């Protein structure tokens, strides 16, 4: 990483050779020092600093949304993000696409003995930056250190709480024939970025992950009052997995246009090279949405107002049920069933 | 990527389709040899578009489909041998042998997916305590890369690296198909990638001998339609020539450097093809000078000293039901197999062509049946 090895928010620069020991997770003085010097400074907020057994929050009005997710991505750092930003955005996005405003996160670290503290600092700085960008506070946490053979560097679990915005989203069961299907940006960037980083595929320039918070995009869409039916972030299994889920929930067929799908040139090239379909590759900063057909343009405008979703596109429509739940119209006009991903072609991408 | 888009241009594709339909005096039968072409034909709906004008018969050009089950069994046993790692291309991992696949052997064994054979040499150099075996499968396209790996390992004295060679040569298989009594094939689309290495001149004797056109063809819809049109023109006018419709990649004499690598390391041998039997001169093996790198010799005792794991699916049942051999020889369309899409799916395959990204059964499933009410998934 360029720049100073210390960060303004971190009072004690870490010596480059300092590493995590099992004792750092055992509750004694070393653990206290780890929390005080490495964890609190970047994440600083009154709830966390109280260092209680639980964060004591103010009462929240309205209905709440709660979610949790674990992150085991390898490598820990990849172009466009790292396990820290991923752990924040992944959970924040789950809340955002559920129609909630994300407020608080918890952060649980399982680290391998021997992990350089500099790596931990870098990840926590990234957690802090992503949380700031998404407007959430990390209010509680836990740290465990395990023998190095039990964990590949660092695993992170985040849980999140948010308040639901009224009116609540009807959800995918409410999809109707004639509804338009939208994505907020080019698909497949995260999966390809991690794959290239892990397998050292050395594409130039290296593809970057789209890892980002969708809070603004989701709320802009929801506030545009267009009869939004459902939103979903396209993570594991990519857009295809979301489309299959919606087809199951609604009993309709989703008809997608291959030529309308936004794909960056690098992702397209990598997919061609590796024999993958961009539909199946994971995103970490893209949502799919279904809106009534007549509201399609309005919804696109609402999405395109936000930087994260400036390349939003309409990719298809909901039609009456056919023999296949998800159908893609290829470039030459032929229509084919689009398979649900079976397992993952790219393991450990989040 | 503008370059690819030109070869997927719907207007040009329509024009070529019309030209083909106009040119045929009766339905013609053409075999596309390569599994990559089969997938592209189905993905772009060209098989349906050409119905009634050209029947496309799908050929044996799926390297992992024709890799003998016994070689997969040996790779699985090696993966489970202590201090041994089997490295392979990803496509090979899920193909079942007689006793399961490399993916299954991964549990309790050591199997590593690599994107290049040189990566496997580097793995061996980094971990001298491990025996690293690279499972060298594929046609003329991959043989130069595995030959290079053999040369690297020899030069750098990476003594813990070896090759389990299961390379196949495409032309002898085409000869076998052309000689089979009662076939209806009138012309061949030769595989563009193989010809990039081998050159299109290598087909001149074939054309002379069998009197059928061989058209070197690429993989995009416009490439394929152009190749089909050229083949149809020749058939209709009673000609049989080698034509190159993949000029942006294929030259007359191929890639001399790649051919030289293959020549240095490998020699031609008879080879059993899965489903097709032994094809004379149908494979490559290491030359005697490279015997030290031959995993079959190095681990000759592996056949007897390691007991085979209990079969996941009884092999006899698979053998009875799976008609992969007929599919690979172009005698059975995948969707005409009684097990297709019901007892045989990509999740629970009976044979290799349902697994591989180049397998004809997988193409029919993926582009015609996936997720529909007709599939059991």
Q: Is residue A342 part of a domain?
A: no
Query: Which residues 288-307 of chain A have a CB within 8 Å of chain B?
Result: none
Chain B interface includes A280 (CB < 8 A): no
Percent of chain B past pLDDT 90, that is, above it, reads 77
Both A156 and A176 in one domain: the answer is no
Q: Is residue A349 part of a domain?
A: no
pTM for this prediction: 0.87
Higher pLDDT, A304 or A276: A304
pLDDT tens digits, one per residue of B202-238? 999 999 999 999 999 999 999 999 999 999 999 999 9
3-state secondary structure of B326: helix
Q: Where is the domain boundary, A136, A164, A192?
A: A164
Best residue in B37, B93, B122, B372 to probe A by mutation, most A CBs within 10 Å?
A: B372
Q: In what order do the strands lie in the sheet with B242-244?
A: B54-61, B28-34, B187-191, B214-217, B242-244
Does the pLDDT value for residue B311 go beyond 50?
Answer: no
Higher pLDDT, B93 or A119: A119
Query: Lowest mean pLDDT: which of A80-84, A87-91, B101-105?
Result: B101-105
How far is it, in rounded angstroms, from Cα B77 to Cα B68?
Answer: 15
What pLDDT, on a 0 to 100 scale, did the predictor assign at position A343?
Answer: 63
What pLDDT, on a 0 to 100 scale, did the predictor assign at position B314?
Answer: 42
What pLDDT, on a 0 to 100 scale, did the predictor assign at position B303?
Answer: 60
Rounded to whole angstroms, what are the CA distances from A163 to A39, A57, A61? 26, 13, 7
3-state secondary structure of B320: helix
What pLDDT, on a 0 to 100 scale, did the predictor assign at position B350?
Answer: 87
Chain B interface includes A350 (CB < 8 A): no
Q: Which two tokens stand for residue B239?
A: 């000609």
Subunit contact A334:B45, Cβ cutoff 8 A: yes
Does the pLDDT value for residue A8 go beyond 70?
Answer: no
Both A282 and A134 in one domain: the answer is no
Full set of structural domains in chain B with CATH: 1-365 (3.40.50.11740)
Both A320 and A183 in one domain: the answer is yes
Both A149 and A252 in one domain: the answer is no
Q: How many CB pairs under 8 A join A and B?
A: 62
For residue B4, which residues of chain A lie inside 8 Å, CB to CB?
272
Residue listed under structure tokens 């390349």: A311
| Domain of A121, in residue numbers | 22-164
Subunit contact B43:A330, Cβ cutoff 8 A: yes
Both A224 and A315 in one domain: the answer is yes
Q: Are B354 and B362 in contact (CB under 8 A)?
A: yes
Subunit contact B4:A272, Cβ cutoff 8 A: yes
Tell me the mean pLDDT in the region A41-60: 93
The chain B residue lying nearest A263, using CA atoms, is B1
Nearest by CB to residue B369, choosing from A199, A201, A337, is A337
CA of A281, closest CA in chain B: separation in Å?
16
The pLDDT mean for chain A works out to: 92
What pLDDT, on a 0 to 100 scale, did the predictor assign at position A244?
Answer: 96
The chain B residue lying nearest A266, using CA atoms, is B1
Tell me the mean pLDDT in the region A69-85: 97
Q: Comparing C-alpha atoms, which of A115, A260, A246 is closest to residue A169? A: A246
Both A34 and A177 in one domain: the answer is no
Tell me the mean pLDDT in the region B56-74: 93
pLDDT band at A344 (very low <50, low <70, confident <90, very high): low
Subunit contact B371:A340, Cβ cutoff 8 A: yes
What pLDDT, on a 0 to 100 scale, did the predictor assign at position A265?
Answer: 92
Subunit contact A265:B1, Cβ cutoff 8 A: yes
pLDDT band at A7 (very low <50, low <70, confident <90, very high): very low
Both A128 and A151 in one domain: the answer is yes
Residue A79 CB-density burial (10 A; 0-12 exposed, 13-18 middle, 19+ buried): middle
Distance of CA A102 to the CA centre of its chain: 13
Both A322 and A227 in one domain: the answer is yes
Subunit contact B374:A244, Cβ cutoff 8 A: no
Residue listed under structure tokens 């076998």: B176
Subunit contact A332:B347, Cβ cutoff 8 A: no
Does the pLDDT value for residue B348 go beyond 50?
Answer: yes
Query: Which residues 36-55 of chain B have a CB within 8 Å of chain A?
Result: 43-46, 48-49
For residue B370, which residues of chain A lie inside 8 Å, CB to CB?
324, 337-340
pLDDT band at B308 (very low <50, low <70, confident <90, very high): very low
Does the pLDDT value for residue B122 go beyond 50?
Answer: yes
How far is it, in rounded angstroms, from Cα B226 to Cα B213?
Answer: 14
Q: Is residue A299 part of a domain?
A: yes
Both A149 and A221 in one domain: the answer is no
How far is it, in rounded angstroms, from Cα B281 to Cα B271?
Answer: 7
SS3 breakdown of chain B: % helix, strand, coil, rounded to 5? 45, 20, 35
Percent of chain B past pLDDT 70, that is, above it, reads 92
pLDDT tens digits, one per residue of A209-227? 999 999 999 999 999 978 9
Q: Is residue A13 part of a domain?
A: no
What pLDDT, on a 0 to 100 scale, did the predictor assign at position A16?
Answer: 55
Subunit contact A326:B371, Cβ cutoff 8 A: yes
What pLDDT, on a 0 to 100 scale, did the predictor assign at position B377?
Answer: 40
Tell me the mean pLDDT in the region B292-304: 85
Query: Which residues 213-272 of chain B have a CB within 8 Å of chain A?
Result: 221
Residue listed under structure tokens 């980094």: B126
Both A280 and A147 in one domain: the answer is no
Tell me the mean pLDDT in the region B64-83: 93
How far is it, in rounded angstroms, from Cα B269 to Cα B284?
Answer: 5
Chain B interface includes A59 (CB < 8 A): no
pLDDT tens digits, one per residue of B138-177? 999 999 999 999 999 999 999 999 999 999 999 999 999 9
Q: Could you tell me which residues are beta bridge partners of residue B272?
A: B278
3-state secondary structure of B214: strand
Does the pLDDT value for residue A101 go beyond 60?
Answer: yes
pLDDT band at B4 (very low <50, low <70, confident <90, very high): confident
Q: Comparing C-alpha atoms, which of A208, A225, A247 is closest to residue A327? A: A247
ipTM of the complex, rounded to two decimals:
0.81
Q: Where is the domain boundary, A106, A134, A164?
A: A164
Chain B interface includes A202 (CB < 8 A): no
The chain B residue lying nearest A329, using CA atoms, is B44
The CATH number covering residue A48 comes to 3.30.1330.10
What pLDDT, on a 0 to 100 scale, did the predictor assign at position B167?
Answer: 96
Q: Is residue A9 part of a domain?
A: no
Q: Is residue A3 part of a domain?
A: no
Subunit contact B44:A272, Cβ cutoff 8 A: no
What pLDDT, on a 0 to 100 scale, did the predictor assign at position A3?
Answer: 42
Other CB atoms within a 10 A radius of the CB of residue A37 amount to 16
For residue B369, which residues of chain A lie inside 8 Å, CB to CB?
337
For residue A340, which residues of chain B lie inside 8 Å, CB to CB?
370-371, 377
Q: Comparing C-alpha atoms, which of A244, A228, A217 is closest to residue A306? A: A217
The pLDDT mean for chain B works out to: 91
How far is it, in rounded angstroms, from Cα B158 to Cα A34?
Answer: 44
What pLDDT, on a 0 to 100 scale, did the predictor assign at position A12?
Answer: 55
How far is it, in rounded angstroms, from Cα A223 to Cα B305?
Answer: 69
Both A153 and A85 in one domain: the answer is yes
Q: Are A336 and A328 in contact (CB under 8 A)?
A: yes
Q: Where is the domain boundary, A164, A190, A217?
A: A164
pLDDT band at B294 (very low <50, low <70, confident <90, very high): very high
A73 CB-near residues (< 8 Å, 6+ apart): A83, A86, A194, A348, A349, A350
The CATH number covering residue A228 comes to 3.90.650.10
Q: Are A248 and A241 in contact (CB under 8 A)?
A: no
Nearest by CB to residue B10, choosing from A323, A324, A332, is A332
Q: Is residue A347 part of a domain?
A: no
pLDDT tens digits, one per residue of B85-99? 999 988 888 888 888
How far is it, in rounded angstroms, from Cα A108 to Cα A144?
Answer: 8
Q: Is residue A176 part of a domain?
A: yes
Both A41 and A62 in one domain: the answer is yes
Does the pLDDT value for residue B40 go beyond 70?
Answer: yes
CA of B140, closest CA in chain A: separation in Å?
19
Does the pLDDT value for residue A183 go beyond 60?
Answer: yes
φ, ψ dihedrals at B279, nearest 5°: -110, 120
DSSP letters, B31-66, are EEEEHHHHHHHHHTTHHHHTTTTEEEEEEEE-HHHH
Subunit contact B44:A332, Cβ cutoff 8 A: yes
Number of structural domains (chain A) is 2
């Amino acid at each position: 990483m360029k720049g100073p090895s210390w960060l303004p928010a971190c009072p004690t620069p870490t010596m480059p050779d300092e590493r995590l020991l099992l004792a750092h997770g055992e509750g004694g003085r070393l653990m206290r020092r780890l929390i005080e010097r490495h964890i609190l400074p970047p994440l600083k907020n009154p709830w966390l600093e109280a260092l209680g057994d639980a964060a004591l929050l103010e009462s929240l009005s309205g209905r709440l949304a709660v979610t949790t997710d674990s992150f085991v991505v390898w490598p820990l750092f990849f172009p466009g993000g790292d396990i820290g930003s991923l752990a924040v955005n992944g959970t924040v996005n789950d809340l955002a696409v559920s129609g909630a405003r994300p407020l608080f996160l918890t952060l649980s670290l399982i680290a391998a003995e021997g992990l350089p503290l500099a790596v931990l600092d870098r990840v926590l700085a990234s957690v802090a930056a992503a949380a700031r960008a998404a407007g959430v506070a990390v209010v509680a946490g836990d740290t465990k250190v395990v023998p190095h053979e039990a964990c590949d560097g660092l695993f992170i679990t985040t849980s999140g709480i948010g308040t639901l915005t009224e009116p609540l989203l009807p959800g995918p069961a409410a999809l109707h024939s004639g509804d338009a299907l939208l994505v907020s940006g080019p698909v497949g960037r995260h999966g390809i970025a991690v794959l290239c980083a892990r397998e050292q595929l050395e594409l130039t320039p290296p593809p970057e992950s789209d890892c980002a918070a969708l809070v603004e995009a989701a709320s802009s869409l929801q506030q545009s009052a267009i009869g939004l039916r459902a939103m979903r972030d396209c993570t594991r299994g990519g857009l295809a997995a979301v489309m299959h889920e919606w087809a199951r929930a609604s009993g309709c067929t989703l008809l997608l246009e291959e030529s309308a799908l936004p794909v960056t040139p690098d992702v397209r090239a990598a997919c061609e090279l590796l024999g993958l379909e961009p539909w199946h590759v994971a995103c970490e900063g893209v949502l799919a949405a279904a809106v009534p057909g007549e509201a399609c343009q309005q919804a696109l405008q609402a999405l395109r107002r936000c930087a994260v979703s400036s390349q939003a596109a309409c990719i298809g429509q909901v039609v009456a049920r056919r023999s296949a739940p998800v159908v893609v119209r290829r470039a030459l006009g032929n229509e084919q069933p689009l398979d649900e991903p079976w397992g993952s072609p790219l393991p450990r991408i989040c | 990527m503008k370059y690819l888009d030109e070869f997927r241009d719907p207007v040009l594709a329509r024009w070529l389709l019309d030209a083909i339909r106009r040119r045929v005096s009766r339905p013609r039968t053409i075999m596309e040899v390569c599994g990559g072409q089969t997938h592209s034909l189905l993905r772009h709906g060209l098989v349906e578009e050409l119905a009634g004008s050209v029947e496309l018969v799908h050929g044996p050009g799926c390297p992992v489909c024709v890799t003998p089950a016994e070689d997969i069994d040996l790779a699985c046993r090696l993966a489970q041998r202590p201090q041994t790692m089997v490295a392979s291309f990803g496509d090979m991992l899920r193909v079942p042998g007689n006793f399961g696949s490399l993916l299954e052997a991964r549990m309790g064994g050591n199997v590593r997916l690599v994107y290049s054979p040189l990566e496997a040499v580097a793995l061996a150099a980094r971990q001298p305590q491990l025996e690293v075996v690279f499972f060298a499968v594929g046609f003329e396209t991959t043989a130069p890369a595995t030959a290079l790996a053999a040369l690297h390992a020899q030069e750098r004295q990476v003594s813990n690296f070896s090759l389990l060679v299961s390379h196949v040569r495409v032309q002898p298989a085409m000869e076998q198909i052309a000689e089979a009594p009662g076939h209806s094939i009138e012309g061949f689309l030769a595989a563009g990638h193989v010809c990039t290495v081998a050159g299109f001149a290598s087909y001149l004797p074939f054309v002379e001998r069998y009197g059928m056109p061989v058209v070197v063809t690429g993989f995009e819809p416009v490439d394929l339609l152009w190749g089909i049109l050229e083949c149809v023109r020749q058939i209709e006018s009673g000609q049989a020539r080698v034509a190159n419709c993949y000029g942006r990649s294929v030259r007359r004499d191929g890639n001399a450097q790649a051919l030289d690598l293959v020549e240095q390391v490998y020699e031609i041998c008879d080879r059993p093809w899965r489903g097709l039997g032994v094809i004379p001169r149908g494979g490559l093996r290491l030359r005697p000078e490279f015997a030290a790198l031959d995993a079959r010799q190095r681990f000759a005792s592996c056949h007897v000293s390691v007991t085979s794991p209990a079969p996941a699916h009884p092999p006899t049942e698979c053998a009875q039901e799976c008609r992969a051999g007929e599919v690979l020889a172009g005698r059975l369309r995948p969707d005409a197999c009684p097990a297709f899409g019901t007892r045989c799916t990509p999740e629970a395959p009976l044979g290799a062509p349902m697994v591989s990204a180049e397998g004809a059964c997988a193409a029919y499933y993926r582009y015609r049946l996936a997720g529909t009410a007709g599939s059991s998934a």
